Amino acid sequence: MEVSTTTPSPTPPTPVCNAWCAKNSNPWDVLCGWAGRCDACEQCTSPGPTTTTTTTTTTTTACVGVENDPQLVNVDFSLAKLTTNNLGGKGPDTQLAEQLYYQGVAVINAANDTVDLRVTVDGGNYSVKNTAYNGLDGVYGSINVLTHTEVNLKFQFINPKTAHPVVMKKFFISWVDLDNGKNNTETVLLGPGYSKLSVANDGEVVESTAGCPDTQHGHSYSETGCVTEALSSSTFGTKGDNPTNPMSLTTQQAARSFAVLYQEKSEFHVTLRVTGTGRGGRNFLFTGMSEVVYASYPECCPIHICGGEQYGGEH
């Protein structure tokens, strides 16, 4: 006689409450909406009023708002053409103006008008290891700095029709692949005037404060007590781990990146510094919008940027 048997369905995994949730600065009504991360915590499962509808609405609005903000100008170096490579007069285009000049770096309106980007030394000196690394590196802008030196820079958006500066309502600048060489470390010091800084949770970028460079903007900021944010590399890296798409970063790539929001600006200022020993240099890579921007928008933030107890943990 044939006997039929029934295979029991596999038991679903037990939900886990990440210890990271209790350390997060967001309120529990937001954290409880993060399925698979915090929704199994006691604060979310205990009887009480729920805010599922409100959280879902907020999430949708926030994410769409970031991605489709009509005031946001997307700086995109994949669109750009490098027409001058002579930063600080170091060449190779020594017969041209002392600048990096990127043509068509962003589309600013529905009529497809574009802006250019001019980068110049902003007081002080510039020492470079290899000018061949200046300009473009795939979909990124790139600037090479000699070890044990720093350079103050001004980035200015230009109307190609008038050659005058263009004030943009809102734009992001992302710095990616901030990592160490064998004997040196990279640091980006932000000049005053930015609105928001986004860094991956538990990443590799080290944040600190520092006095503004004395010669930046042609001012002596040391007299005003100006303090700026310094973001430094902390882990060794190679060209092989560089990101190829700023909107699709691996966990490690996000951990080595940060993004800065500027509003109502035609220009911004940074200092690029390489500390250490040896005769080499480091390449600083930058672009516009990147995935790490969402570190400031937890409703939209991918788990490899905002989730897990450490950056390399949960995916």
Full pLDDT tens readout for the chain, 315 residues: 444 444 454 444 445 565 545 544 455 665 576 555 566 777 777 654 433 333 333 334 556 677 788 999 999 999 999 999 999 999 999 999 999 999 999 999 989 999 999 999 999 999 999 999 999 999 999 999 999 999 999 999 999 999 999 999 999 999 999 999 999 999 999 999 999 999 999 899 999 988 776 654 544 444 566 778 999 999 999 888 999 999 999 999 999 999 999 999 999 999 999 999 988 999 999 999 999 999 998 888 889 998 744 333 222
104: exposed, middle or buried (C-beta count within 10 Å: 0-12, 13-18, 19+)? middle
d(CA 108, CA 156): 15
Q: Which pLDDT belongs to residue 58?
A: 37
Q: Which pLDDT belongs to residue 310?
A: 36
Q: Which two tokens stand for residue 211?
A: 């006095």
SS3 197: strand
Vertex 305 angle, CA 303 and 307, to 5°? 45
d(CA 108, CA 114): 6
Q: Over the Cα atoms of the chain, what is R_g? A: 23
Same-domain check for residues 87 and 43: no
Please indicate, yes or no, if residue 154 is contained in any of the structural domains.
yes
Same-domain check for residues 135 and 277: yes
Please indicate, yes or no, if residue 226 is contained in any of the structural domains.
yes
Q: Which pLDDT belongs to residue 101?
A: 98
Please indicate, yes or no, if residue 40 is contained in any of the structural domains.
yes
SS3 22: helix
Same-domain check for residues 163 and 21: no
- Helix ranges (H only) for 185-315 are 251-255, 303-306
Q: Which pLDDT belongs to residue 48?
A: 47
Q: What amino acid is encoded at 265 in this protein? A: K
Domain residues for the domain of 33 are 9-50
CA neighbor of 119 nearest in space, from 75, 87, 159: 87
Residue 256, φ and ψ in degrees, nearest 5:
-105, 20
Q: Taking a C-beta distance cutoff of 8 angstroms, is the pair 146, 129 a contact?
A: yes
Q: Which pLDDT belongs to residue 234?
A: 96
Q: Which pLDDT belongs to residue 1?
A: 45
Q: Which pLDDT belongs to residue 281?
A: 95
Same-domain check for residues 144 and 89: yes
Q: Taking a C-beta distance cutoff of 8 angstroms, is the pair 66, 293 a contact?
A: yes
Q: How many domains does the chain have?
A: 2
Same-domain check for residues 85 and 130: yes
Please indicate, yes or no, if residue 304 is contained in any of the structural domains.
no
Q: What amino acid is encoded at 182 in this protein? A: K
Same-domain check for residues 20 and 126: no
Same-domain check for residues 168 and 115: yes
This prediction has a pTM of 0.77
Please indicate, yes or no, if residue 68 is contained in any of the structural domains.
no
Please indicate, yes or no, if residue 219 is contained in any of the structural domains.
yes
